[in-house]
Chains A and B, each alone.
Chain A
């Protein structure tokens, strides 16, 4: 599971090997890409409906035909996202049944201790920095925030889509409540993605492993030391390959 650069052209230059370790499977990267696209489309078609008082929104939604079109695009993207959620949950359940679900995304006490340690470090209260496994607490927060965010959006979205059906067995008050939740959660999610997710993967350090699938050994050692060690990194017997899993 490694990638090695081609040999240098001149023998006088010392050989520099860059070791890459697989971080995400192709399936996971596809899931992320679809989620990414759906989110963009849903935000672009949903936010004008939410900020209907704004002039840019009124420009987009100026005629009944346009409103209908925007809603249809929103519904199609919503169906794709729903299919993705079903796939993701279905796969998790399948892996769980086979006892092969990696538990490394679950939030543990260690994450809370890590977060506390990191906060203390950032506030100059401690020199010590936490070391992380495959996913640090920030990445777990990202996953679970989006997990529940998407959950809220999908459930409330279907309530809003089929109000007559849901009120057959639920009180009518769920419709305005779902509208409020859907609309507020959308902006919460958008703000979250911008200030938290994009900061961590683009600004703090450029981490495109979710697109490429690979993370180099250097980043792995710096940011995911425990996982790096678990994979046998820095082991003299194994140092040139960084063999994983």
Chain B
């Protein structure tokens, strides 16, 4: 009795286990490698300023000619003293406006300055020069509503709301009267000159980062006129600039880098590998980052992303003689940030974005080879033997009842 009880319990238990194992294998085979693809899915918005949105010149407000304004505001020396004593220059260069994108398209002063009305102007009060700008810049929204809305989600808008009056507004980057055309009217893409000028625009406030960027592999190429390299906006976005210190920015950053670094056409131009993302995702760190990016994008993780090893604004060539990560001692410094006990051999535990082959990482290559031979040979052989065993068992079961029957007949006789 005890035995029978044990047996039934055991059969039940092993049945569940077998099912569980079979189920997990089936699931694993049903959903093939998707983490690299997952990383490539959610890309930050690319800067594509709308072309032609400003071509609508048929507004009914075009009642006052620019010349009317310029009669006063074209004269140098027209100023206004603000509450804090700062002097607001009210002179506008007619030439500057004429060559700006708005001037070229024939926009009139009063299309932006809609509140000034007739002369004398309604009273205008501002605490400071900055306050004056902050009062005037919402005028951009009338035509550029989508960009204005994006910008209101940005880290700059948040800073402004939190009381930092220096946080960038439209006119800080685009200027007020000297707005330049940034995109090609045909393609809607940023022009080469516009791309080259971006870091300088950001440098107006972020000058320390700009200095770092100029020394990096990307920044130095840009300053030589190469527009292939990323500028500020390729990583940070344009109007809806995200807070780069969040967990989600960190988890998403490999996707950001891989936008260019998995582009085979672009990388071929510079002889760079496009396996950097897949090899990263295949290893300990990348696996976890890719998993969290998909499953819990706001999770804090200490697993390194691209920029933890390669640097953020000061990214160097890997073969840089002083700082390049190809030199093991340079990489070790990075390893030790998280693995303080790491020693000289430790960095080679990371495959450096290589796919193991006989020359590089022979040990990994041969372990792989061993299992490639072992699995089909040994397990295959076993499976064959088990299959033969099983068929023999089925046959003997079928045969047995016949034997007993004939035996019975014999005994009757």
Cβ 8 A contact of A58, one of B22, B295, B362, B374 = B295
B356's nearest neighbour on chain A, judged by CB, is A176
The stretch of A7-15, A76-84, A100-108, A160-168 that contacts the partner chain: A160-168
A188 contacts chain B at the CB level, 8 A cutoff: yes
Cβ 8 A contact of A175, one of B33, B341, B349, B385 = B349
Q: Is the CB of A64 within 8 A of B382?
A: no
- Contacts of B393 on A, CB cut-off 8 Å? 204
Given A198-B14, A204-B390: A58 and B343 interface contact (C-beta under 8 Å) = no
- Contacts of A177 on B, CB cut-off 8 Å? 361, 363-364, 367
Interface hits, A51-96 → B, CB 8 Å = 51-59, 61-64, 67
A138's nearest neighbour on chain B, judged by CB, is B385
B62 contacts chain A at the CB level, 8 A cutoff: no
- Contacts of A40 on B, CB cut-off 8 Å? 17
Q: Is the CB of A51 within 8 A of B28?
A: yes
Chain B interface size, as a band, is 35 or more
Q: In the bound complex, how far is the Cα of B29 from the Cα of A53, in angstroms? A: 10
Q: Is the CB of A43 within 8 A of B21?
A: yes
B244 smallest CB distance to A (angstroms): 20
Given A164-B343, A176-B356, A198-B14: A64 and B300 interface contact (C-beta under 8 Å) = yes
- Contacts of B220 on A, CB cut-off 8 Å? none
B158 smallest CB distance to A (angstroms): 26
B93 contacts chain A at the CB level, 8 A cutoff: no
Interface hits, B11-35 → A, CB 8 Å = 11, 14, 17-18, 20-22, 24-25, 27-28, 30-35
Interface size of A by CB at 8 A reads 58
Q: Is the CB of A64 within 8 A of B299?
A: yes
Main secondary structure of the interface of A (DSSP, over half): helix
B3's nearest neighbour on chain A, judged by CB, is A212
B290's nearest neighbour on chain A, judged by CB, is A52
Q: In the bound complex, how far is the Cα of B287 from the Cα of A176, in angstroms? A: 14
B284's nearest neighbour on chain A, judged by CB, is A179
A202's nearest neighbour on chain B, judged by CB, is B14
- Contacts of B363 on A, CB cut-off 8 Å? 171, 173-174, 176-177
Q: Is the CB of A195 within 8 A of B390?
A: no
Interface hits, A161-213 → B, CB 8 Å = 163-165, 167-168, 170-177, 179-181, 184-185, 188, 190-196, 198-200, 202-204, 206, 208, 211-212
Cβ 8 A contact of A52, one of B35, B343, B386 = B35
Main secondary structure of the interface of B (DSSP, over half): helix
Q: Is the CB of B379 within 8 A of A188?
A: yes
Q: Is the CB of B10 within 8 A of A208?
A: yes
B345 contacts chain A at the CB level, 8 A cutoff: yes
Interface hits, A117-169 → B, CB 8 Å = 119, 122-123, 141, 163-165, 167-168
Cβ 8 A contact of A198, one of B18, B300, B382, B392 = B18
- Contacts of B3 on A, CB cut-off 8 Å? 208, 212
A47 contacts chain B at the CB level, 8 A cutoff: yes
B383 contacts chain A at the CB level, 8 A cutoff: yes
Given A43-B21, A202-B11, A211-B6: A55 and B382 interface contact (C-beta under 8 Å) = no
B264 contacts chain A at the CB level, 8 A cutoff: no
Given A40-B17, A211-B10: A195 and B383 interface contact (C-beta under 8 Å) = yes
B388 contacts chain A at the CB level, 8 A cutoff: yes
Cβ 8 A contact of B6, one of A192, A199, A208 = A208
Given A63-B296, A184-B371: A173 and B339 interface contact (C-beta under 8 Å) = no
Given A53-B31, A194-B22, A198-B18: A170 and B6 interface contact (C-beta under 8 Å) = no
- Contacts of B362 on A, CB cut-off 8 Å? 173
- Contacts of A190 on B, CB cut-off 8 Å? 21, 25
- Contacts of A184 on B, CB cut-off 8 Å? 367, 371, 375
Q: In the bound complex, how far is the Cα of B197 from the Cα of A244, in angstroms? A: 93
B135 contacts chain A at the CB level, 8 A cutoff: no
Cβ 8 A contact of A53, one of B22, B34, B292, B351 = B34
- Contacts of B296 on A, CB cut-off 8 Å? 62-64
A193's nearest neighbour on chain B, judged by CB, is B21
B374's nearest neighbour on chain A, judged by CB, is A188
B391 smallest CB distance to A (angstroms): 8
- Contacts of A53 on B, CB cut-off 8 Å? 31-35
- Contacts of A212 on B, CB cut-off 8 Å? 3, 6
What 8 additional pairs, Cβ within 8 angstroms, besides A122-B388, A170-B345?
A63-B296, A164-B343, A174-B363, A180-B367, A184-B375, A188-B379, A194-B18, A212-B3
Q: What 8 A-B pairs come out closest when comparing CB atoms? A: A172-B348, A175-B349, A62-B295, A172-B349, A122-B388, A51-B28, A164-B341, A167-B345
The contact sample of 7 A-B pairs, CB cut-off 8 A, is A53-B35, A62-B295, A167-B349, A180-B367, A195-B382, A208-B7, A212-B3
